[in-house]
Protein backbone atom coordinates (compact mmCIF):
# COMPACT_ATOMS: atom_id res chain seq x y z
CA UNK A 1 0.00 0.00 0.00
CA UNK A 2 1.44 3.39 -0.97
CA UNK A 3 2.17 5.82 1.82
CA UNK A 4 -0.21 8.75 2.09
CA UNK A 5 1.32 12.20 2.42
CA UNK A 6 1.18 13.53 5.98
CA UNK A 7 -1.30 16.39 6.37
CA UNK A 8 -0.52 17.30 9.99
CA UNK A 9 -0.20 15.67 13.41
CA UNK A 10 -1.61 12.13 13.58
CA UNK A 11 -2.83 10.13 16.55
CA UNK A 12 -1.29 6.74 17.25
CA UNK A 13 -1.18 4.19 20.07
CA UNK A 14 2.06 2.51 21.12
CA UNK A 15 2.33 -0.70 23.15
CA UNK A 16 4.87 -0.54 25.99
CA UNK A 17 6.49 -3.61 27.53
CA UNK A 18 9.45 -4.65 29.68
CA UNK A 19 10.52 -7.71 31.64
CA UNK A 20 14.17 -7.03 32.52
CA UNK A 21 15.53 -4.96 35.39
CA UNK A 22 13.50 -2.02 36.69
CA UNK A 23 10.62 -2.58 34.31
CA UNK A 24 8.59 0.52 35.18
CA UNK A 25 11.67 2.71 34.96
CA UNK A 26 12.47 1.41 31.47
CA UNK A 27 8.93 2.20 30.32
CA UNK A 28 9.09 5.69 31.80
CA UNK A 29 12.43 6.28 30.08
CA UNK A 30 10.95 5.11 26.77
CA UNK A 31 8.11 7.64 27.09
CA UNK A 32 10.61 10.39 27.87
CA UNK A 33 12.74 9.46 24.87
CA UNK A 34 9.66 9.66 22.65
CA UNK A 35 9.10 13.19 23.96
CA UNK A 36 12.76 14.05 23.34
CA UNK A 37 12.35 12.95 19.72
CA UNK A 38 9.33 15.20 19.20
CA UNK A 39 6.76 12.40 19.59
CA UNK A 40 4.17 13.97 21.88
CA UNK A 41 2.94 11.53 24.55
CA UNK A 42 -0.62 12.69 25.21
CA UNK A 43 -1.77 10.07 27.73
CA UNK A 44 -0.73 6.73 29.14
CA UNK A 45 -2.71 3.76 30.33
CA UNK A 46 -2.17 2.06 33.64
CA UNK A 47 0.59 -0.55 33.71
CA UNK A 48 -0.24 -4.23 34.13
CA UNK A 49 1.94 -7.14 35.20
CA UNK A 50 1.37 -10.18 33.02
CA UNK A 51 2.68 -13.67 32.53
CA UNK A 52 4.76 -14.12 29.35
CA UNK A 53 2.98 -15.50 26.30
CA UNK A 54 4.44 -17.83 23.68
CA UNK A 55 7.88 -18.16 25.35
CA UNK A 56 6.93 -18.82 28.96
CA UNK A 57 10.32 -19.47 30.59
CA UNK A 58 11.09 -15.84 31.43
CA UNK A 59 10.20 -13.09 33.92
CA UNK A 60 6.76 -11.50 34.06
CA UNK A 61 6.18 -8.47 31.87
CA UNK A 62 4.93 -5.00 32.70
CA UNK A 63 2.71 -3.80 29.85
CA UNK A 64 0.92 -0.57 28.98
CA UNK A 65 -0.12 1.67 26.11
CA UNK A 66 0.51 5.34 25.37
CA UNK A 67 -1.43 7.67 23.12
CA UNK A 68 0.84 9.86 21.00
CA UNK A 69 0.65 12.65 18.47
CA UNK A 70 3.21 12.67 15.67
CA UNK A 71 3.94 14.07 12.24
CA UNK A 72 5.93 10.96 11.33
CA UNK A 73 4.49 8.45 8.90
CA UNK A 74 4.21 4.85 10.19
CA UNK A 75 7.56 3.54 8.84
CA UNK A 76 9.43 6.60 10.16
CA UNK A 77 7.67 6.27 13.52
CA UNK A 78 8.66 2.60 13.71
CA UNK A 79 12.26 3.53 12.93
CA UNK A 80 12.29 6.03 15.81
CA UNK A 81 10.79 3.47 18.20
CA UNK A 82 13.45 0.92 17.27
CA UNK A 83 16.13 3.52 17.96
CA UNK A 84 14.65 4.06 21.43
CA UNK A 85 14.67 0.32 22.09
CA UNK A 86 18.33 0.15 21.10
CA UNK A 87 19.19 3.20 23.24
CA UNK A 88 17.64 1.42 26.24
CA UNK A 89 19.65 -1.73 25.70
CA UNK A 90 17.26 -4.06 23.93
CA UNK A 91 19.06 -6.94 22.28
CA UNK A 92 16.82 -9.40 20.44
CA UNK A 93 18.02 -12.97 20.95
CA UNK A 94 14.82 -14.89 20.26
CA UNK A 95 11.29 -13.99 19.17
CA UNK A 96 9.02 -13.06 22.12
CA UNK A 97 12.03 -13.29 24.46
CA UNK A 98 13.18 -11.07 27.32
CA UNK A 99 13.64 -7.38 26.63
CA UNK A 100 14.46 -4.18 28.47
CA UNK A 101 11.74 -2.42 26.51
CA UNK A 102 9.42 -3.30 23.66
CA UNK A 103 7.63 -0.63 21.60
CA UNK A 104 5.04 -1.59 18.98
CA UNK A 105 2.66 0.51 16.89
CA UNK A 106 -0.85 -0.74 17.64
CA UNK A 107 -2.93 1.87 15.83
CA UNK A 108 -2.21 4.82 13.56
CA UNK A 109 -5.31 6.98 13.25
CA UNK A 110 -7.86 4.76 11.47
CA UNK A 111 -5.41 3.51 8.90
CA UNK A 112 -4.99 -0.10 7.84
CA UNK A 113 -1.45 -0.84 6.66
CA UNK A 114 0.08 -4.13 5.56
CA UNK A 115 3.70 -4.32 4.44
CA UNK A 116 6.46 -6.89 4.82
CA UNK A 117 7.70 -5.25 8.03
CA UNK A 118 4.69 -3.37 9.48
CA UNK A 119 1.06 -4.34 9.97
CA UNK A 120 -1.43 -1.84 11.45
CA UNK A 121 -3.58 -2.55 13.41
CA UNK A 122 -1.03 -4.82 15.12
CA UNK A 123 -1.79 -8.33 13.93
CA UNK A 124 -1.85 -10.03 17.35
CA UNK A 125 -3.42 -7.34 19.51
CA UNK A 126 -6.93 -8.82 19.39
CA UNK A 127 -5.80 -12.00 21.18
CA UNK A 128 -3.78 -10.24 23.88
CA UNK A 129 -5.46 -9.08 27.06
CA UNK A 130 -2.22 -7.37 28.08
CA UNK A 131 -2.68 -5.09 25.05
CA UNK A 132 -6.45 -4.66 25.02
CA UNK A 133 -6.83 -3.93 28.72
CA UNK A 134 -4.46 -0.93 28.77
CA UNK A 135 -5.82 0.20 25.41
CA UNK A 136 -9.29 0.22 27.00
CA UNK A 137 -7.96 2.60 29.66
CA UNK A 138 -7.61 5.10 26.81
CA UNK A 139 -10.18 4.36 24.08
CA UNK A 140 -12.59 1.69 25.34
CA UNK A 141 -15.44 2.61 23.00
CA UNK A 142 -13.41 3.28 19.84
CA UNK A 143 -14.20 0.92 16.95
CA UNK A 144 -11.53 -1.57 15.91
CA UNK A 145 -10.34 -0.59 12.40
CA UNK A 146 -11.21 -3.08 9.69
CA UNK A 147 -13.13 -5.40 12.07
CA UNK A 148 -16.05 -7.50 10.88
CA UNK A 149 -18.50 -7.22 12.53
CA UNK A 150 -17.58 -3.75 13.80
CA UNK A 151 -16.51 -4.06 17.47
CA UNK A 152 -15.21 -1.71 20.12
CA UNK A 153 -11.99 -2.53 21.94
CA UNK A 154 -13.91 -3.08 25.19
CA UNK A 155 -16.28 -5.53 23.48
CA UNK A 156 -13.30 -7.46 22.08
CA UNK A 157 -11.70 -7.53 25.54
CA UNK A 158 -14.90 -8.94 27.01
CA UNK A 159 -14.81 -11.76 24.43
CA UNK A 160 -11.39 -13.01 25.61
CA UNK A 161 -11.09 -15.68 28.31
CA UNK A 162 -10.53 -14.08 31.71
CA UNK A 163 -6.95 -14.18 32.95
CA UNK A 164 -6.21 -16.30 36.01
CA UNK A 165 -5.28 -14.54 38.19
CA UNK A 166 -6.99 -11.42 36.84
CA UNK A 167 -4.74 -8.66 35.54
CA UNK A 168 -4.24 -5.76 37.91
CA UNK A 169 -2.86 -2.31 37.35
CA UNK A 170 0.42 -1.40 39.08
CA UNK A 171 1.15 1.83 40.97
CA UNK A 172 4.69 2.24 42.32
CA UNK A 173 5.13 3.47 45.90
CA UNK A 174 8.91 3.38 46.29
CA UNK A 175 11.91 1.44 45.00
CA UNK A 176 11.86 -0.83 48.06
CA UNK A 177 8.14 -1.66 48.22
CA UNK A 178 5.93 -3.74 45.92
CA UNK A 179 3.64 -1.72 43.68
CA UNK A 180 -0.03 -1.31 44.54
CA UNK A 181 -2.25 -3.80 42.69
CA UNK A 182 -5.65 -2.16 42.87
CA UNK A 183 -7.53 -4.87 40.96
CA UNK A 184 -6.11 -7.86 42.79
CA UNK A 185 -8.88 -9.37 44.95
CA UNK A 186 -6.45 -10.47 47.67
CA UNK A 187 -4.33 -7.30 47.78
CA UNK A 188 -3.20 -6.11 51.19
CA UNK A 189 -4.35 -2.72 52.48
CA UNK A 190 -1.49 -0.33 53.20
CA UNK A 191 -1.21 1.77 56.35
CA UNK A 192 -0.24 5.40 55.82
CA UNK A 193 0.68 7.04 59.13
CA UNK A 194 0.16 10.76 59.70
CA UNK A 195 3.16 12.75 60.93
CA UNK A 196 2.20 16.40 61.38
CA UNK A 197 5.18 18.62 62.11
CA UNK A 198 2.97 21.67 62.57
CA UNK A 199 2.06 23.54 65.74
CA UNK A 200 -1.63 23.78 64.82
CA UNK A 201 -2.96 20.63 63.11
CA UNK A 202 -6.45 19.67 64.22
CA UNK A 203 -5.62 16.56 66.29
CA UNK A 204 -1.88 16.40 66.90
CA UNK A 205 -0.49 19.90 66.33
CA UNK A 206 2.70 20.54 68.27
CA UNK A 207 3.06 16.90 69.31
CA UNK A 208 6.22 16.23 67.28
CA UNK A 209 9.30 18.44 67.02
CA UNK A 210 10.30 19.14 63.40
CA UNK A 211 13.97 19.39 64.40
CA UNK A 212 14.20 16.33 66.66
CA UNK A 213 12.52 13.13 65.53
CA UNK A 214 14.63 10.90 67.77
CA UNK A 215 11.87 10.33 70.38
CA UNK A 216 9.57 9.10 67.58
CA UNK A 217 11.98 6.70 65.84
CA UNK A 218 11.62 3.70 68.20
CA UNK A 219 7.83 3.86 67.79
CA UNK A 220 8.15 3.98 63.99
CA UNK A 221 10.49 0.98 64.00
CA UNK A 222 7.98 -0.96 66.08
CA UNK A 223 5.18 -0.04 63.69
CA UNK A 224 7.26 -1.28 60.76
CA UNK A 225 7.54 -4.66 62.50
CA UNK A 226 3.93 -5.10 63.67
CA UNK A 227 1.82 -7.89 62.19
CA UNK A 228 0.12 -5.53 59.74
CA UNK A 229 3.01 -3.10 59.27
CA UNK A 230 3.21 0.56 58.50
CA UNK A 231 4.41 1.09 54.91
CA UNK A 232 3.90 4.82 54.20
CA UNK A 233 4.61 7.87 56.36
CA UNK A 234 2.74 11.04 55.32
CA UNK A 235 4.69 14.08 56.56
CA UNK A 236 3.04 17.49 56.72
CA UNK A 237 4.55 20.87 57.49
CA UNK A 238 1.51 23.07 56.83
CA UNK A 239 -1.86 22.60 58.51
CA UNK A 240 -4.86 22.27 56.17
CA UNK A 241 -7.53 22.77 58.81
CA UNK A 242 -9.94 25.66 58.10
CA UNK A 243 -8.49 29.10 58.83
CA UNK A 244 -5.05 27.77 59.75
CA UNK A 245 -2.34 30.41 59.19
CA UNK A 246 -0.43 29.90 55.94
CA UNK A 247 3.32 29.83 56.48
CA UNK A 248 5.96 30.62 53.87
CA UNK A 249 7.25 27.68 51.79
CA UNK A 250 10.69 27.95 53.41
CA UNK A 251 9.15 27.51 56.84
CA UNK A 252 7.20 24.48 55.61
CA UNK A 253 10.41 23.03 54.20
CA UNK A 254 12.22 23.78 57.44
CA UNK A 255 9.80 21.41 59.15
CA UNK A 256 9.77 18.50 56.71
CA UNK A 257 13.31 18.35 55.27
CA UNK A 258 15.01 17.43 58.57
CA UNK A 259 12.54 14.55 58.97
CA UNK A 260 13.25 13.25 55.47
CA UNK A 261 17.00 13.43 56.07
CA UNK A 262 16.74 11.54 59.36
CA UNK A 263 14.63 8.77 57.85
CA UNK A 264 16.68 8.43 54.69
CA UNK A 265 19.95 8.21 56.64
CA UNK A 266 18.68 5.30 58.77
CA UNK A 267 18.73 1.86 57.02
CA UNK A 268 15.96 0.57 59.31
CA UNK A 269 13.53 2.81 57.37
CA UNK A 270 14.61 1.69 53.89
CA UNK A 271 11.23 0.03 53.26
CA UNK A 272 9.20 3.00 54.50
CA UNK A 273 7.75 5.09 51.67
CA UNK A 274 7.80 8.81 52.47
CA UNK A 275 4.81 10.86 51.36
CA UNK A 276 4.78 14.65 51.61
CA UNK A 277 1.46 16.37 52.36
CA UNK A 278 1.76 19.69 50.53
CA UNK A 279 -0.02 21.79 47.93
CA UNK A 280 3.09 23.80 47.01
CA UNK A 281 5.18 22.85 43.99
CA UNK A 282 8.41 24.29 45.41
CA UNK A 283 8.00 22.24 48.58
CA UNK A 284 7.22 19.11 46.55
CA UNK A 285 10.33 19.54 44.37
CA UNK A 286 12.65 20.06 47.34
CA UNK A 287 11.14 17.14 49.24
CA UNK A 288 11.58 14.78 46.29
CA UNK A 289 15.18 15.93 45.89
CA UNK A 290 15.74 15.10 49.58
CA UNK A 291 14.43 11.54 49.18
CA UNK A 292 10.62 11.55 49.39
CA UNK A 293 8.65 9.08 47.26
CA UNK A 294 5.09 10.45 46.99
CA UNK A 295 3.44 13.87 46.82
CA UNK A 296 0.03 14.07 48.53
CA UNK A 297 -1.79 17.22 47.37
CA UNK A 298 -5.15 18.00 49.00
CA UNK A 299 -5.99 20.30 46.08
CA UNK A 300 -4.94 17.96 43.24
CA UNK A 301 -2.96 20.80 41.71
CA UNK A 302 -5.64 23.48 42.07
CA UNK A 303 -3.86 25.64 44.67
CA UNK A 304 -0.54 25.92 42.81
CA UNK A 305 -0.52 25.86 38.99
CA UNK A 306 3.06 24.57 39.02
CA UNK A 307 2.28 21.48 41.08
CA UNK A 308 1.18 19.11 38.30
CA UNK A 309 4.04 20.04 35.93
CA UNK A 310 6.47 19.63 38.84
CA UNK A 311 5.18 16.13 39.64
CA UNK A 312 5.38 15.23 35.95
CA UNK A 313 8.97 16.48 35.72
CA UNK A 314 10.05 14.57 38.83
CA UNK A 315 8.19 11.44 37.71
CA UNK A 316 6.94 10.48 41.17
CA UNK A 317 3.69 8.96 42.36
CA UNK A 318 1.09 11.45 43.57
CA UNK A 319 -2.17 11.49 45.52
CA UNK A 320 -4.86 13.68 43.97
CA UNK A 321 -7.52 14.50 46.56
CA UNK A 322 -10.99 15.84 45.91
CA UNK A 323 -11.65 19.26 47.39
CA UNK A 324 -13.45 22.40 46.35
CA UNK A 325 -12.10 25.87 47.00
CA UNK A 326 -9.57 26.14 49.83
CA UNK A 327 -9.62 24.87 53.41
CA UNK A 328 -11.09 28.25 54.37
CA UNK A 329 -13.95 28.16 51.85
CA UNK A 330 -14.58 24.45 51.26
CA UNK A 331 -17.46 24.01 53.73
CA UNK A 332 -19.47 26.60 51.80
CA UNK A 333 -19.14 24.45 48.67
CA UNK A 334 -21.01 21.28 49.61
CA UNK A 335 -23.84 21.39 47.05
CA UNK A 336 -23.70 18.40 44.68
CA UNK A 337 -26.79 18.70 42.40
CA UNK A 338 -26.28 15.25 40.86
CA UNK A 339 -25.32 13.62 44.16
CA UNK A 340 -22.01 13.39 45.98
CA UNK A 341 -20.80 10.23 44.19
CA UNK A 342 -21.44 11.71 40.75
CA UNK A 343 -20.00 15.06 41.81
CA UNK A 344 -16.81 13.72 43.37
CA UNK A 345 -16.30 11.20 40.58
CA UNK A 346 -16.73 13.69 37.75
CA UNK A 347 -14.55 16.32 39.44
CA UNK A 348 -11.78 13.82 40.19
CA UNK A 349 -11.96 12.66 36.56
CA UNK A 350 -11.24 16.24 35.53
CA UNK A 351 -8.30 16.35 37.95
CA UNK A 352 -6.93 13.13 36.42
CA UNK A 353 -7.29 14.58 32.93
CA UNK A 354 -5.48 17.75 34.00
CA UNK A 355 -2.69 15.64 35.48
CA UNK A 356 -2.38 13.64 32.27
CA UNK A 357 -2.23 16.83 30.19
CA UNK A 358 0.58 18.03 32.46
CA UNK A 359 2.52 14.83 31.68
CA UNK A 360 1.79 12.72 34.76
CA UNK A 361 1.56 9.05 33.82
CA UNK A 362 -1.61 7.23 34.77
CA UNK A 363 0.41 4.59 36.63
CA UNK A 364 1.63 7.36 38.96
CA UNK A 365 -1.82 8.51 40.12
CA UNK A 366 -3.58 7.63 43.39
CA UNK A 367 -6.97 9.17 44.24
CA UNK A 368 -8.49 10.35 47.52
CA UNK A 369 -12.22 11.14 47.91
CA UNK A 370 -11.43 13.92 50.39
CA UNK A 371 -13.52 12.82 53.37
CA UNK A 372 -14.34 15.98 55.37
CA UNK A 373 -13.20 18.37 52.62
CA UNK A 374 -16.19 20.17 51.05
CA UNK A 375 -18.48 17.42 52.35
CA UNK A 376 -21.14 17.40 55.02
CA UNK A 377 -21.50 14.61 57.57
CA UNK A 378 -24.16 12.87 55.48
CA UNK A 379 -22.00 13.15 52.36
CA UNK A 380 -18.99 11.67 54.16
CA UNK A 381 -21.13 8.72 55.23
CA UNK A 382 -22.57 8.26 51.74
CA UNK A 383 -19.07 8.12 50.23
CA UNK A 384 -18.07 5.42 52.71
CA UNK A 385 -21.26 3.44 52.08
CA UNK A 386 -20.96 3.67 48.29
CA UNK A 387 -17.20 3.77 47.95
CA UNK A 388 -17.16 0.79 45.60
CA UNK A 389 -19.30 2.82 43.16
CA UNK A 390 -16.82 5.69 43.28
CA UNK A 391 -13.92 3.31 42.59
CA UNK A 392 -15.76 2.08 39.50
CA UNK A 393 -16.72 5.53 38.22
CA UNK A 394 -16.35 5.67 34.44
CA UNK A 395 -12.82 6.82 33.63
CA UNK A 396 -11.44 6.12 37.11
CA UNK A 397 -11.53 2.32 37.03
CA UNK A 398 -8.29 0.66 38.03
CA UNK A 399 -6.84 3.66 39.84
CA UNK A 400 -5.88 3.05 43.50
CA UNK A 401 -7.40 5.03 46.36
CA UNK A 402 -6.31 6.32 49.75
CA UNK A 403 -9.01 7.13 52.32
CA UNK A 404 -8.37 9.42 55.27
CA UNK A 405 -11.05 9.25 57.95
CA UNK A 406 -8.88 9.23 61.05
CA UNK A 407 -10.25 11.31 63.95
CA UNK A 408 -12.39 13.44 61.60
CA UNK A 409 -14.97 15.85 63.00
CA UNK A 410 -18.00 13.93 61.72
CA UNK A 411 -16.86 10.92 63.77
CA UNK A 412 -16.81 13.10 66.89
CA UNK A 413 -20.30 14.42 66.17
CA UNK A 414 -21.79 10.96 65.67
CA UNK A 415 -20.06 9.32 68.64
CA UNK A 416 -20.13 12.33 70.98
CA UNK A 417 -16.35 12.17 71.47
CA UNK A 418 -15.10 15.75 71.48
CA UNK A 419 -11.38 15.10 71.90
CA UNK A 420 -9.98 14.15 68.47
CA UNK A 421 -7.32 11.82 69.86
CA UNK A 422 -10.04 9.74 71.58
CA UNK A 423 -11.97 8.91 68.40
CA UNK A 424 -10.32 5.53 67.81
CA UNK A 425 -13.48 3.40 67.91
CA UNK A 426 -15.35 5.57 65.44
CA UNK A 427 -12.26 5.73 63.23
CA UNK A 428 -12.00 1.94 63.35
CA UNK A 429 -15.54 1.53 61.97
CA UNK A 430 -14.82 3.96 59.13
CA UNK A 431 -11.48 2.31 58.30
CA UNK A 432 -13.22 -1.07 58.06
CA UNK A 433 -15.83 0.47 55.75
CA UNK A 434 -13.09 1.92 53.56
CA UNK A 435 -11.40 -1.48 53.23
CA UNK A 436 -14.75 -3.11 52.48
CA UNK A 437 -15.32 -0.53 49.74
CA UNK A 438 -11.93 -1.21 48.15
CA UNK A 439 -9.41 1.33 49.49
CA UNK A 440 -5.79 0.39 48.83
CA UNK A 441 -4.43 2.73 51.52
CA UNK A 442 -5.91 4.07 54.76
CA UNK A 443 -4.39 7.21 56.29
CA UNK A 444 -4.39 6.97 60.09
CA UNK A 445 -2.99 8.46 63.29
CA UNK A 446 -3.30 5.37 65.53
CA UNK A 447 -1.12 2.94 63.62
CA UNK A 448 -1.08 0.02 66.07
CA UNK A 449 -4.85 -0.06 66.61
CA UNK A 450 -5.76 0.56 62.97
CA UNK A 451 -3.24 -2.08 61.92
CA UNK A 452 -5.34 -4.62 63.80
CA UNK A 453 -8.54 -3.27 62.22
CA UNK A 454 -7.06 -3.49 58.74
CA UNK A 455 -5.66 -6.98 59.35
CA UNK A 456 -9.16 -8.17 60.29
CA UNK A 457 -10.84 -6.30 57.46
CA UNK A 458 -8.42 -7.77 54.92
CA UNK A 459 -9.09 -11.26 56.30
CA UNK A 460 -12.82 -10.68 55.77
CA UNK A 461 -12.86 -9.00 52.37
CA UNK A 462 -9.50 -9.37 50.62
CA UNK A 463 -9.76 -13.02 49.65
Q: Do 61 and 130 form a contact (C-beta atoms < 8 A)?
A: yes
Q: Are 241 and 215 in contact (CB under 8 A)?
A: no
Q: Does the CA dihedral 345-347-348-350 come out positive or negative?
A: positive
CA angle 390, 394, 399 (to 5 degrees): 65
The full DSSP string for 19-72 is -SSSHHHHHHHHHHHHHHTT-EEEEE--EEEEPPSSS-SSPPEEEEEEEEEESS
Q: Are 68 and 14 in contact (CB under 8 A)?
A: yes
Strand, coil or helix: 198: coil
Identify the CA nearest to 188 among candidates 402, 449, 459, 453: 459
Name 404's bridge partners: 443
Q: Catalytic amino acids?
A: 408, 443
DSSP assignment of 334-397 equals ---TT-HHHHHHHHHHHHHHHHHHHT--GGGEEEE--TTSS--HHHHHHHHHTHHHHHT-TTTT
CA distances from 9 to 12, 39, 264, 360 (A): 10, 10, 45, 22
Q: Which residues pair with 104 in a beta bridge?
A: 15
Angle at 366 between CA 360 and CA 371, to 5 degrees: 130
386-402: burial string, b at 16+ Cβ within 10 Å, e else: ebeebbebeebebbbbb
Question: Are β-strands 294-297 and 317-321 bridged in parallel, bridged antiparallel, or unpaired?
Answer: parallel
How many other C-beta atoms can be found within 10 angstroms of the C-beta atom of residue 370? Answer: 24
Task: Give the distance from CA 56 to its chain's centroid.
Answer: 29
Who's near 109: CB < 8 A, 6+ residues apart?
10, 11, 12
The Cα–Cα gap between 190 and 366 comes to: 13
Amino acid sequence: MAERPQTGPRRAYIALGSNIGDRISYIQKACQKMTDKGIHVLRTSALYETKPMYLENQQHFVNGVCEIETTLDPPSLLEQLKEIEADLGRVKVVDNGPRTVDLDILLYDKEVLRTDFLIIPHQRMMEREFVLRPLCDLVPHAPIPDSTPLLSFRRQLERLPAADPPLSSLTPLSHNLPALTSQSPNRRTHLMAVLNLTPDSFSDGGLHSPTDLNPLLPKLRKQLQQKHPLTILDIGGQSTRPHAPQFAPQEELGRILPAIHVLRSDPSFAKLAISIDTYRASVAAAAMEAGADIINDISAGQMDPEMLPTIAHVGCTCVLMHMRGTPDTMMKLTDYPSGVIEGVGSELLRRVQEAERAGIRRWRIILDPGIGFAKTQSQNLEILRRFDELRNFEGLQGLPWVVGVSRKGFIGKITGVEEASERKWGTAACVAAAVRGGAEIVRVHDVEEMGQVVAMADALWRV
